[in-house]
């Protein structure tokens, strides 16, 4: 669990919503190389913060919670609570409750769904929100669906062309979703896709 302990420290030291020079940050993402980094700046002018020392293969963030998964372990952050636990190999998909608390995790390799109850993971029946379009889908708290098909990201009746097929959809914060290289703003009436800078 040493890798997860390093990630706990990284998350704790980058939780202010601003970077060291006072630039606003949307939240954290997993970059193309697998490092957790802050996404800072404003729409259309983003930059990535310094990478974590360890890699993650899947992650999701709210303003008060986080899921961070390495190859076989997982870190769950819920306010001041932390849980480090073993997990199946491979990527995972995550959801959050309206208050920012972690909700569900779906392990894609084993097709298992678990719910976070505030202190532990409870196995649940498979949910349809994780099986549409081969898992490249996300149901938003307002019940809109975000999906990928025919070269575009779809949210409600809107479609935004995307050059590459997204392997994952991950929460940055309650108003933004990350696709490894692009960010989707899901705020009603302000939906837009922004290409993110390359890792450096």
- What does the DSSP assignment read for 50-97? PPPSSB-SEEEE-SSEEEEE-SSEEEEEETTEEEEEE--SS-EEEEE-
Query: Could you tell me which of 81, 98, 63 has the C-alpha nearest to residue 173?
Result: 63
Q: pLDDT tens for residues 124-134?
A: 886 554 554 44
Three-class secondary structure of residue 31 per DSSP: coil
Confidence of residue 3 (pLDDT cuts 50, 70, 90): very low
What's the mean pLDDT in 35-41? 89
The pLDDT > 90 percentage for the chain reads: 22
Between 146 and 200, name the one with better pLDDT.
Answer: 146
pLDDT at 33 over 50: yes
Q: Residue 35 pLDDT more than 70?
A: yes
CA distance 29 to 38: 6
Integer Cα distance of 171 and 62 in angstroms: 7
Segment 163-189, tens digit of pLDDT: 877 767 888 888 999 887 889 999 999
Number of other residues whose CB lies within 10 A of the CB of residue 41: 18
What value does the mean pLDDT take over residues 16-23?
Answer: 57
CA distance 18 to 136: 30
What pLDDT shows up at residue 2? 44
Report phi then psi at 59, rounded to 5.
Answer: -160, 155
Question: Is residue 135 very low, low, confident or very high in pLDDT (cuts 50, 70, 90)?
Answer: very low
Mean pLDDT to the nearest integer, 138-162: 86
pLDDT at 93 over 70: yes
**Tens digits of residue pLDDT in 63-77:** 888 999 998 899 999
For residue 158 the two structure tokens come to 């809107």
Q: How many CB atoms lie within 10 A of CB 153?
A: 22
């Amino acid at each position: 669990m040493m890798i997860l302990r390093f990630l706990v420290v990284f998350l704790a030291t980058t939780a202010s919503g601003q970077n060291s020079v006072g630039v606003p940050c949307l939240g954290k993402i997993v970059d193309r190389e697998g490092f957790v980094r802050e996404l800072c700046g404003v729409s259309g002018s983003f930059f990535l913060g310094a990478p974590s020392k360890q890699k993650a293969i899947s992650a999701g963030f709210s303003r008060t919670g986080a899921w961070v998964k390495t190859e076989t372990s997982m870190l769950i952050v819920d306010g001041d609570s932390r849980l480090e636990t073993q997990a199946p190999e491979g990527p995972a998909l995550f959801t959050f409750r309206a208050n920012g608390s972690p909700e569900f995790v779906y392990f894609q390799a084993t097709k298992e769904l678990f719910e976070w109850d505030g202190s532990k993971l409870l196995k649940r029946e498979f949910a349809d929100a994780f099986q549409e379009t081969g898992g490249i889908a996300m149901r938003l708290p307002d019940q809109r669906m975000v999906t990928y098909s025919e070269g575009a990201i779809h949210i409600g009746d809107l479609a935004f062309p995307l050059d590459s097929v997204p392997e994952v959809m991950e929460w940055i914060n309650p108003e933004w979703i990350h696709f490894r290289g692009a960010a989707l703003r899901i705020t009603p009436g302000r939906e837009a896709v922004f290409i993110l800078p390359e890792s450096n």
